[in-house]
Structure 1
Amino acid sequence: MNKEPKTMSENEESMESRLEQILNDALIKATDTYSVPPQIIWVDNSTIATLGNFSASTGKAKAKKTFNVSALVAASLSNGTVLNYRACLPEGKRRILYVDTEQSRYHCHNVLARILKLAGLPTDMDNQNLDFIGLREYTPAIRMEVIDYALAHNHGYGLVIIDGIRDLLLDINNAGESVEVINKMMEWSSKYDLHIHCVLHQNKGDNNVRGHIGTEMNNKAETVLVISKSTTNPDVSEVRPLHIREKEFKPFAFTVNAEGLPEIAREHTCEQQSKAKSSRISYKDLTEEQHREALSAAFKEAPIKGYENVVQALMAAYEEIGFKRGRSIIAKLLQYLVNDLKLVIKKDKIFFYDMTPMEAELFSDNDNE
């Protein structure tokens, strides 16, 4: 008995047709011609953003990342210069979508007002070229769907900001989720011919971008900017390229003025990243505020038992504020904190930060028993 030849099901035919179409669309021929991606944002003469690509800003908590992004958006909204960002979005691509996944509506509104002020636009009326949406209360899947829907149904976007890309994932260290989100960034930027700028935190213990999503972003992004607090002036934030395809720009610094707006810190000189320059900054040059910030992170409102344990905790905490040093320097720093600044108190093998009078009295009573 002859067997009838196997026929493809409708699903198999549909899949084969789809793969054939993708293969044809992906084929790059020597006879093809492609235009250079339009450049839309610069720092000095270095291109940091082009249409069809994505970039990112990163930094530790309180480094003023959102202030920095506000300046970048304001420059793009006004097609002018804000801080050191110069922007020129082409006709038909003047609209901006700002997506915030972290802050309350009240704080989102403050960011919106700041952007309009920086762009020299009225804050008591909506601007047709800026759409600001807050997605804090939604799940990662719904956030992704809303962004996808917005891009598909609203034409003219040239720049998309995702302030809190981490919130598009359930698990920041999930490799599969991270690849999926980064692929979505590449799909959206290419399909809709726009630029996406994402904001992501750095690790607390080092200067790496957080999680697997950070690794993917470093590998695929056109530009990654790092915003960090100055180690010599806690009121100043510095911006430098962590990764950039174009030539690197000279780091610049900004501070927040009395009106709550970022402005160039003209009297500030950015610290060089070289080891020689870094080594000239002593722990004695740090302000008390910087010491307290590091100590709060190291002690976490609890005493630390053991000399080696406190040294290791201080190494990690001081690195968080930009003061990365080896064990020998941190050991001298601990001695300085105990003997000179008296911010740390040592009793036997236990170290206390800001011990209250009640704690001191209690510990003294225990010593006398």
Structure 2
Amino acid sequence: MIHSDMAMPNNLKIDEEKYKSILKYIKLNVTDKYDFPQEIVQIDGITIATLGNFSASTGKPKSKKTFNVSAIVASALSGKEVLKYKANLPACKNKILYIDTEQSKCHCHKVLHRILSLAGLPTDQENDRIEFFVLREYTPDQRRDIIRWALHEENNIGLVVIDGIRDLIHDINSPSESLDIINELMRWSSYYELHIHTVLHLNKGDDNTRGHVGSELNNKAETVLQISKNMENGNISEVRAMHIRDKEFTPFAFEIGKDSLPHLVNDYQFKINKRDKLTSYVDMTEQQHRSALEITFQNGPVVGYQALLDALKKGYDSIGYARGRNTLVNLCKFLLQHEAILKDGRGYSFNEKFSI
């Protein structure tokens, strides 16, 4: 520790002043009040994006990730619900910056046209609320510099889309590069008080996000959406939460219509893969319980304990959790303790506001 300025070189004095400034900025005081980050994108009332954070869409090639992102952006532009997304940007931050790193201008033009069409906005005139940059021709370092300058020059940006993050680094498996770009996303989103949504491919052989950057993304992102192609109908894509800080939303599906736009598939039935079947109800996610209970109580409240066990069997069978009476009895106790099921006399009902 240095006790006297006489022993301190001039350059170290400058560093000390910078440190004091940073320390003042980062110090948390219990007496101060901090506003909760503004929620800007929701699905069925469940928050998936807030200002000051970042999220991602992931999926294998041709899974329609860009179509999914287009719906998010279209909702942010229009304030309307698009697919299942309902976005609301604050008036002081109602501009959108869309960065594409891999497609040609021709293909990017189709994306921009799609976004405006989904938003119900004119496609024959420019919209001053969205800036679309095509960075295919630039190096990873140049792309990052361009994004930095764009954020520095425009004060009203509330949503940034980076399709895709892999092209902002040289080596997707480099721990140092991956950590640097994720830290950059956290710094940009926090410093400029905006939300960044990025796109990253999944591995071809499994459902893990690609490379070391994928691991960092999973650890730090507010929400990671997984877009999967239906194996029987390639025109349908499924959207579910891979990681989410809020409670999980009910998965949904969309298909591409004759107008080349994504449309919600109503009453879509999700199939459960054998590898997704769980060995214990304790290990299930809240969304898995919710899906099973929606089937259990699809006809309303159930009267009688045995009728409840029968309904639970049907509900949990539907998600691939087929068990005998003893397990169902313990499952019933578990659900009652967590108030997912409410008991009133001999009747049992589903509490949709439960939390596990």
Name the SS for the 1:58 alignment partner: strand
Distance 2:43 2:94 in 1: 19
Distance 1:14 1:139 in 2: 34
Match of 1:64 in 2: 64
- Mapping of 1:32-51 within 5 angstroms? 32-51=32-51
One-letter amino acid matched to 1:168: L
Distance 2:80 2:190 in 1: 25
Closer, same or farther: CA 190–274 of 1 in aligned 2, 3 Å? farther
Match of 2:266 in 1: 266
Distance 1:121 1:274 in 2: 44
Match of 1:10 in 2: 10
Distance 2:164 2:187 in 1: 19
Distance 2:235 2:19 in 1: 55
- CA deviations over 1:36-67 (Å, ceiling 9, x no partner): 11100001111000001000000000000000
Match of 2:140 in 1: 140
One-letter amino acid matched to 2:15: M
- CA deviations over 1:125-160 (Å, ceiling 9, x no partner): 110100000000100111001001001111110100
Match of 2:181 in 1: 181
Name the SS for the 2:132 alignment partner: strand
Match of 1:119 in 2: 119
Match of 2:238 in 1: 238
In percent, how many aligned pairs have the same letter? 54
Distance 2:275 2:215 in 1: 25
Give how far 1:11 is off: 2.1
Name the SS for the 2:52 alignment partner: coil
Distance 1:138 1:86 in 2: 33
Match of 2:282 in 1: none
Name the SS for the 1:249 alignment partner: coil
One-letter amino acid matched to 2:181: V
Q: Is the 8 A contact 1:53 1:189 kept in 2?
A: yes
Match of 1:199 in 2: 199
Distance 2:118 2:272 in 1: 29
One-letter amino acid matched to 1:203: N
Give how far 1:272 is off: 3.5
Q: Is the 8 A contact 1:58 1:202 kept in 2?
A: yes
Give how far 1:218 is off: 0.5
Match of 1:166 in 2: 166
How high is the TM-score relative to the length of structure 2? 0.75
Name the SS for the 1:160 alignment partner: strand
How high is the TM-score relative to the length of structure 1? 0.72
Closer, same or farther: CA 275–35 of 1 in aligned 2, 3 Å? same
Closer, same or farther: CA 119–33 of 1 in aligned 2, 3 Å? same
Match of 2:89 in 1: 89
Give how far 1:273 is off: 5.7
Distance 1:273 1:76 in 2: 34
Distance 1:154 1:274 in 2: 49
Give how far 1:259 is off: 1.0
Runs of at least 5 residues in structure 2 that lack an aligned partner in the other structure? 279-356
Match of 2:325 in 1: none
Q: Is the 8 A contact 1:59 1:227 kept in 2?
A: yes
Name the SS for the 2:7 alignment partner: coil
One-letter amino acid matched to 1:145: D
Distance 2:147 2:37 in 1: 23
The farther-off stretch of 243-252 and 269-278 is 269-278
Give how far 1:232 is off: 2.9
Distance 2:6 2:51 in 1: 47
Match of 1:290 in 2: none
Distance 1:99 1:33 in 2: 35
Give how far 1:12 is off: 1.7
Distance 1:50 1:104 in 2: 30
Distance 2:58 2:17 in 1: 41
Q: Is the 8 A contact 1:57 1:65 kept in 2?
A: yes
Name the SS for the 1:92 alignment partner: helix
Give how far 1:6 is off: 6.5
Match of 2:28 in 1: 28
Distance 1:254 1:245 in 2: 24
Match of 2:228 in 1: 228
RMSD over aligned Cα atoms: 1.7
Give how far 1:267 is off: 5.0
Distance 2:164 2:117 in 1: 23
- CA deviations over 1:230-264 (Å, ceiling 9, x no partner): 12322210000000000100100001011110001
One-letter amino acid matched to 1:245: R
Name the SS for the 1:86 alignment partner: strand
Closer, same or farther: CA 129–11 of 1 in aligned 2, 3 Å? same
Distance 2:114 2:177 in 1: 33
Match of 1:252 in 2: 252
